[in-house]
């Protein structure tokens, strides 16, 4: 793509897209150009539609992959090429939204007990205790831990938003023990092999896979499952869903409401109309 790639990169940067998103959009746009061996400037809606169908039919790409390609190509034609008419009729694919696996409290304890590295254990404990995303947890700095106010300052979260989350007493106590044991150098709470950078999310995922196997847990467990479990357990403990929305950093309450669907306590407390028949409350049924 040459100069077009440079222009697209600049357009993404000017709109303050995240570095990972910039790399993804550029890579997907390059693959589109390579497929036809032509510059995107020489193509339009017909080629875009055919390419997306090629991904679905020939490459057997899932809806989420196709959605990323749609996003990249819509940006390319709308902003970089200034030809929005070429992609305005390209539909956004519907993506399935399965309910997440949720660990029980016992499973969380068992998982943490089977994490071999104290650093990895503290990262997972922090993720469960605060509901942080894995990248947010990995990039915590020592100065983000406010023990006086019992808060953690989450900086530059999703969509570049800052927020505060609670600092559980048990987590603070364990973090202090971790600090005494590891004595991490520099500003990062969880440094990587290079002390000038924080630990990567892939290292945490690998450690979690091993701990899950050692703990004998058959559910599919990822760092994000700790976040899902945090939200569901808060809801089951009686926390207000609006509070959970703020803690998770969700832009929409609809995203948070998914946890109502997986909360056994909420489902269990909901009365079936069958139980209302013949009772005073059942009069509302007519």
Active centre residues (catalytic): 133, 158, 224, 227, 250, 259
C-beta pairs of 160-166 under 8 Å, 24+ apart in sequence: 160/16, 160/18, 161/249, 163/246, 163/247, 163/249, 165/130, 165/131, 165/132, 165/247, 166/130, 166/247
What are the E-state strand segments in the chain?
145-146, 151-154, 163-166
| Cβ atoms of residues 144 and 188 within 8 Å | no
Residue 65 three-state SS? helix
């Amino acid at each position: 793509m040459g100069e077009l790639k440079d222009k697209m990169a600049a357009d993404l940067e000017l709109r303050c897209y995240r570095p990972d998103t910039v790399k993804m959009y550029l890579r997907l746009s390059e693959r589109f150009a390579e497929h036809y061996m032509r510059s995107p400037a020489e193509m339009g809606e017909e080629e875009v539609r055919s390419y997306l169908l090629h991904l679905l039919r020939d490459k057997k790409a899932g809806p989420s992959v196709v959605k990323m390609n749609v996003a990249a190509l819509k940006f390319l034609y709308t902003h970089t090429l200034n030809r929005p008419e070429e992609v305005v009729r390209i539909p956004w694919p519907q993506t399935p939204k399965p309910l997440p696996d949720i660990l029980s409290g016992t499973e969380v304890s068992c998982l943490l007990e089977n994490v071999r590295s104290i650093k990895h254990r503290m990262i997972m404990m922090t993720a469960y205790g605060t509901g942080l995303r894995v990248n947010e947890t990995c990039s915590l700095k020592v100065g983000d831990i406010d023990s006086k106010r019992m808060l953690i300052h989450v900086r530059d979260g999703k969509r570049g938003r800052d927020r505060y989350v609670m600092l559980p007493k048990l987590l603070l106590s364990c973090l202090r023990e971790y600090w005494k044991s590891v004595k991490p150098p520099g500003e990062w709470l969880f440094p990587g092999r290079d002390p000038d950078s924080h630990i990567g999310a892939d290292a945490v995922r690998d450690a979690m896979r091993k701990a899950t196997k050692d703990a004998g847990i058959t559910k599919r467990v990822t760092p994000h499952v700790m976040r899902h479990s945090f939200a569901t357990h808060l809801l089951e403990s009686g926390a207000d869903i609006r509070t959970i929305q703020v803690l998770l950093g969700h832009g929409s309450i609809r995203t948070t409401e998914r946890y109502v669907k997986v909360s056994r306590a909420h489902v269990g407390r909901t009365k079936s109309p069958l139980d209302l028949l013949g009772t005073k409350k059942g009069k509302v049924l007519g």
